[in-house]
A = this chain, B = another copy of it.
Amino acid sequence: MNINSTLKFILNLAKAQTIINRRFDAKLSSYGLGFNDFVILYHLSLAPHQKLRRIDLAEKLGLTASGITRMLAPMEKIGLVSRESNERDARVSYAVLAPGGKRLLEESIKTAEHAAADTFPELKTKKIKKLSELLNEIGGLL
């Protein structure tokens, strides 16, 4: 019952990611954030006017539009993000980084970086580039 090495690799990837996710969730829980909450705040902070369409947010995280709707609802309720409409296209609803979200991102970012460093202690810049390229083969597709 053998499988080829690409599939084996994907099994390893899945395992690693499961552990990483749980670890980051645990570390960030002191801020009341999940890993993906953090990632949403991060992408919003980089975006022009610190806002993104829900669908672009979905693309950046690899989630579905539905998932983004679910995630943003409680974040909006506690003032991390707010909602803004687009004058030219009534279908669109932006997620905007709210002051509370910006503050929380600033507070939590060091924690996230430490968690990353703990996870990959000796990850060098060169290696990262190569790996990221590889991951783009998937990330870029969808």
Contacts and interface: CB of A to CB of B under 8 A. Distances in A.
B14 A35 contact: yes
A23 B134 CA distance: 17
A103 B36 CA distance: 37
A121 interface: yes
A78 to B, nearest CB: 20
Interface stretch (A1-9, A79-87, A88-96): A1-9
Copies held by the complex:
2
A15 interface: yes
Interface string A9-32: 111111111111110100000000
A139 B18 CA distance: 9
A79 to B, nearest CB: 18
A116 B137 CA distance: 12
A87 to B, nearest CB: 27
A105 to B, nearest CB: 7
Interface of A: 1, 3-22, 24, 35-36, 39, 42, 45-46, 60-64, 105-106, 109, 112-113, 116-117, 119-123, 125, 127-128, 130-132, 134-139, 141-142
